[in-house]
Amino acid sequence: MDTTTAETKPSKRAPLLQVRHFHGRRTELRETGLHFDRLIDEDDREDYTSLVEEKFEARTRVAINPPALPASDLFARMSNTEAPGDRTVAPCKAYDTSWRVEENAEEIREGQRLVAVAIDGGAPVGYASFGLSVVRRKDESAIRYCLSLDFCYVLPAWRGRGVGVNLSAACAEICCDVLLACFLAARKGTTIDLDVYAEFGSHGGERISNSIVRQLEEVCEYLPDTKRPGVRFGDINYDAG
């Protein structure tokens, strides 16, 4: 999925995705990259996940790269509260706080690695780590939306209380918002292909990645019917690891 080579270098080109492409969405693009900080509830679960068959009342605040919880502190605090033999692995030493643009001879790549943190009472109770990038050919004839789903973890004491489902819904909303932004930014005549790679290091991770992919499929089905003639979706390449 990742075609970045040794020749890839930072680019001075403007990113394809701009602030205006996220207008009206709960995911925003800021100087520090993607921003999302929302309370996920029953309505969000209904819209963005297929994991829940019965209604329940759990609400969870989910934030991307929350500045009040630095990555090093976040994972240290979670490790100190875990059950023996159930240690989480920190996906990063520090948050990726920019939507970066790079290029090689053929392609321009922009994107960011993200940690979505589930928070209760100011304390972290779970997280999901994933990467989003948008790759376009320099002739702008095609766009490739790339999603890498890495890890989902919920503290043992919080399992079975809807935290994982709410994390799944939040991640799906963020991923769908970025796909919508790609659609709005694409030039007429552009085909958008999707590459999704999932190697969740967690129990039930495949169910979460399957749910997110289903949400992306729904976006691909309804968006071409909107007033954006000439922009279409191609294949969804899904590798569950």
pLDDT band, residue 60 (cuts 50/70/90): very high
Residue 3 falls within a domain, yes or no? no
**CB count in 10 Å sphere of residue 216:** 21
Residue 65 falls within a domain, yes or no? yes
Sequence letter at residue 219: V
Residue 37 falls within a domain, yes or no? yes
Closest CA to 205 of 161, 120, 148: 148
Residue 2 falls within a domain, yes or no? no
* Average confidence (pLDDT) over 101-121: 94
pLDDT at 212: 94
DSSP-derived secondary structure for 55-88: -----EEEEES-TTS-HHHHHHHHHTTSPTT---
* Average confidence (pLDDT) over 51-66: 80
83-101 residue pLDDT tens = 544 555 666 778 999 999 9
Note the residue count of the chain: 241
In this predicted structure, which of 70-74, 114-118, 181-185 has the lowest mean pLDDT? 70-74
For the whole model, what pTM was predicted?
A: 0.90
136-161 residue pLDDT tens = 988 878 999 999 998 888 888 888 88
pLDDT at 3: 46
Residue 139 falls within a domain, yes or no? yes
Q: How many domains does the chain have?
A: 1
Residue 1 falls within a domain, yes or no? no
Report whether 49 contacts 169 (CB < 8 A): yes
Residue 232 falls within a domain, yes or no? yes
- Domain of 111? 9-239
Sequence letter at residue 52: V
Per cent of the chain over pLDDT 70 is: 87
Residue 57 falls within a domain, yes or no? yes
